[in-house]
Amino acid sequence: MKRVVITGLGALTPLGNTIEEFWANIIAGKSGAGAITKFDTEKFKTKFGCEVKNFHPENYIDKKELKKYDLFTQYALAASEDAIRNAGLDFATMPEHDRYNVGVIWASGNGGIGTFEEQLKEFYAGDGTPRFSPYFIPKMITDIAAGAISIRYGLHGPNYCTVSACASSNTAIINAFDTIRLGKATIMIAGGSEAAITPASVGGFNASQALSKRNDAPETASRPFDKDRDGFVIAEGAAALVLEELEHALNRGAAIYAEIVGGGMAADAYHLTGTHPEGLGAVLGMQKAIADAKIVITDIDYVNAHATSTHIGDLSELQAIDKVFGTHAVAISATKSMTGHLLGAAGAIESIICTLAIRHNIIPPTINTTVLDEHLPERLQIVLGKALHTPVRYALNNTFGFGGHTASSIFKKYEA
């Protein structure tokens, strides 16, 4: 099968709207959390999140076109444009028949939930006459971001979305990886976007007891593995990766960030929202990814944990990591402590973190964790407080979603 490398990165995050700014803040251990500004939270139990700051969609999209796109698609178009530019690609000058082999797999857990809320609010506030916008459905449906990206650049290859809750964009990246290595495309734009800091989303997650309620200290609310963790911090944004067949990348002289070498997907088959208490799906996903990469556990230097700061989720994941890695002291960090939880876009932003950890030989820290939960496996090596400078050859990215979905991907330092 063909080798697949990463040649472009783009990110729009609560910690910065460029790759450089984002990575600098991640390594510095900064938090992207603050008071929610998108709606009035007075009556909500949780009043904070990790919002994207200073985003100007008109820098990426013509003002006349903006009305066609929900915010999650605007984020997708921005991140993908930056990744394509970062990869040194110019699709406008690429022959059309070459663009038959360039595709997009884009993920979102909630799609255009903001549009959905706005349109229904207007309908129920009126006299019952269905005066819906003609853009309502195309703005709302989850697959539209993938379509919008392909339309913008004239990409005729495989094009669809993946929806597996918070595992969605990791699943998209694994599917894009498989598409290229099986010879069905030469380049794939893969990633995810989320714009779910909305009343219904925050209210719904509050109702399911999933969100932190540390309204007095939002910057320290996301505290994975901590004894006093009380839920995740909702976040928004987008991340895009350009995946490319190795020979194609070399032939055009592309810079290569890293190689993707394995992906594993499985299911807890246990509960609608809760993780398996012993992390069964997580174990299977990691084992499948390692087998797919044709490596052994001691090859892996870094695990970016899903670790959302929920009581059961954090514990079950670390138990799963302990089962898979045994006595191998793999370094673990939970970067949601800084970014918050980007839901369907989490896997993509954390894949970028894994890629940059390999490129720079730096493992980002887990912040805000002061007293480790006494029920966590003792032998695990969690990077706390500050970044760890150490060689990173292989990195594994874990993502899990409501419904029991699990996805693990493995990245490797590129070697000719």
Label residue 32 left, alpha or beta by phi (over 0 means left) and psi (-120 to 50 means alpha). alpha
Please give the span between the terminal C-alpha atoms of the chain, in angstroms, as a whole number.
Answer: 16
If DSSP codes are grouped into helix, strand and coil, which group holds residue 412?
A: strand
Where are any strands of DSSP class E within 218-353? Answer: 237-245, 258-267, 302-304, 331-333
Q: Based on the number of CB atoms within 10 Å of its own CB, is 348 exposed (0-12), middle (13-18) or buried (19 or more)?
A: buried
> Which residue numbers are catalytic?
166, 306, 341
CB atoms within 10 A of CB 93: 6
Q: Residue 200 carries which DSSP code?
A: H
Report the candidate in 348, 328, 346 with the shortest Cα–Cα distance to residue 394.
328
Please tell me the distance from the alpha carbon of residue 202 to that of residue 45, in angstroms, as a whole number. 9
Please tell me the distance from the alpha carbon of residue 187 to that of residue 158, in angstroms, as a whole number. 10
Q: Which helix (H) or strand (E) holds 179?
A: helix 168-181
Q: Residue 394 carries which DSSP code?
A: E
DSSP letter for each residue of 314-352: HHHHHHHHHHHHTT---EEE-THHHH-B-GGGHHHHHHH
Please tell me the distance from the alpha carbon of residue 397 to that of residue 353, in angstroms, as a whole number. 9
Please tell me the distance from the alpha carbon of residue 145 to that of residue 132, in angstroms, as a whole number. 21
The pair of structure tokens assigned to 310 is 């929920």
For residue 47, CA distances in Å to 36, 214, 217, 235 come to 6, 9, 11, 12
